[in-house]
Amino acid sequence: MSDRALAARTAPDPDLADVRAAQADRAAFATLYRRYLDPVYGYCFYLLGDHHDAEDVTERTFLAAMAALDRFRDTGSTFRSWLFRIAHNQLANALRSRSRHRTAPLTAAGDPPSGDDPAGHADRADEARRLRSAISRLPDDRRQVVVLRFVDGLSAREIGVVLDRSPAAVRVLQHRALRDLARLLDEDGGGR
Amino acid sequence: MTHTLSPAERLDRAVDGLLDGLSPSVASAAAGLDAAMRPLVAVAAGLRSSLVVPPASSRFEARLGTRLASPAERDPIGWALRHPGRLIVTGAVGSAVGVGVTAYAVWRSSRRAGAAHRLLHR
């Protein structure tokens, strides 16, 4: 078991029973799919800035995860961090491909779908736009930490597994990202 | 032996508190953050409240769900073995394309070689 995998686990993996069921019968993968579709999609959307590209990478992630499910072992890292690691690799491929073809910054992507409340919360939408604009100006590793931590709620230990960094390195990245964001929002006339 | 937390560790504890639903001031105090770090907790609170997870569209969810449930995706090797006819057709089409491309390449190179030969012996 790797040090990072060990460090990623302080509590039992809440998904483990469902993973075992899906390893025995792929039909049970639907439970994990429903649980993680939106978080994985959100991670992809915030890093790609485009709904269609995010759907494409999300699809590749789940297909790869289902194909590799038998290789997941309860040896330290959680299923969630394992799944996001796959998404991270798929995102890296997509971003490499995009750099060869075109770019679509997060700020140009428009707001995420508003669900049941499309018209309301104009202030929150404005705040979200300012934050997305600031996030898009962060270095890639800090942007990844911000999205995984604040959009998907992963712990520093889990993010360490996803990004192949130590938890301490992730905490330092988080500290620097928040400091950068505070400065960028301030320059933007923010801090409102 | 006591371990003195670094600023990054204390900030991470405050973020843990925020993600657990504490207010920025309570999370900062619980993590023992000094005044200089509190603006960072305010930024973190803004991220927490503003960056919602955008839901995937229901059409995409249904389409991918259907694909994941298909036998070919669930068990591709078993599915292929249970459908040998499709494997044979795929193999035959692939072979035909390969033979066609090779024949064309041979024909092109022989034409060029013939032209070069005629030029040399004119």
We report the CATH number of the domain holding residue A88 as: 1.10.1740.10
Contact criterion met (CB < 8 Å) for B60 and A55: yes
* DSSP of chain A: --HHHHHT-SS--TTHHHHHHHHH-GGGHHHHHHHHHHHHHHHHHHHH--HHHHHHHHHHHHHHHHHHGGG---SSS-HHHHHHHHHHHHHHHHHHHHHHH----GGGG-PPP-TT-SS--HHHHHHHHHHHHHHHTS-HHHHHHHIIIIIS---HHHHHHHHT--HHHHHHHHHHHHHHHHHHHHHTT---
Q: How many domains does chain A have?
A: 2
Q: What is the pLDDT of residues B53-85, one digit of tens each?
A: 888 999 999 999 999 998 766 666 665 665 566
pLDDT of residue A132: 86
Q: How far is A30 from chain B (nearest CA, A)?
A: 7
Which of the residue ranges A111-115, A138-142, A148-152, B113-117 would you say has the lowest mean pLDDT?
A111-115
Grade residue B95 by pLDDT with cuts at 50, 70 and 90: confident
Q: What is the pLDDT of residues A117-156, one digit of tens each?
A: 555 557 777 888 888 889 999 999 999 999 999 999 999 9
Whether the per-residue pLDDT at A27 is higher than 50: the answer is yes
Q: What is the pLDDT of residues B8-37, one digit of tens each?
A: 999 999 999 999 999 999 999 999 998 989
Q: How far is B115 from chain A (nearest CA, A)?
A: 41
CA A171 and chain centroid, separation: 16
Residues A17 and A84 grouped into a single domain: yes
Query: Within a domain: residue A3?
Result: no
Give the mean pLDDT of A91-120: 63
pLDDT of residue A121: 59
Q: How far apart are CA B14 and CA B32, in angstroms?
A: 8
Grade residue A1 by pLDDT with cuts at 50, 70 and 90: very low
Give the mean pLDDT of B76-96: 64
User: Which of B11, B44, B54 comes nearest A113 by C-beta?
Assistant: B54
Q: What is the pLDDT of residues A50-84, one digit of tens each?
A: 899 999 999 999 999 999 999 998 777 899 999 99
pLDDT of residue A34: 95
- Domain end, chosen from A79, A105, A131, is at A105
pLDDT of residue B53: 81
Q: Retrieve residue B8's tokens.
A: 């990054």
Whether the per-residue pLDDT at B105 is higher than 90: the answer is no
Q: Tell whether A20 lies on the interface with B, counting CB pairs under 8 A.
A: no
Amino acid at B24: P
* Nearest alpha carbon to residue A80 among A95, A57, A108, A61: A61
CB < 8 Å to B68, chain A = 29-30, 33, 62-63, 66
CB < 8 Å to A181, chain B = 43, 47
Contact criterion met (CB < 8 Å) for B6 and A182: no
Give the domain extent around A55: 11-105
Query: Within a domain: residue A62?
Result: yes
Query: Within a domain: residue A133?
Result: yes
Percentage of residues of chain A with pLDDT beyond 70: 81
Minimum CA–CA partner of B40 in chain A:
A178
Whether the per-residue pLDDT at A178 is higher than 80: the answer is yes
CB < 8 Å to A30, chain B = 65, 68-69
Give the mean pLDDT of B109-118: 75
- Domain end, chosen from A105, A137, A169, is at A105
Residues A128 and A192 grouped into a single domain: yes
Query: Within a domain: residue A22?
Result: yes
pLDDT of residue A191: 47
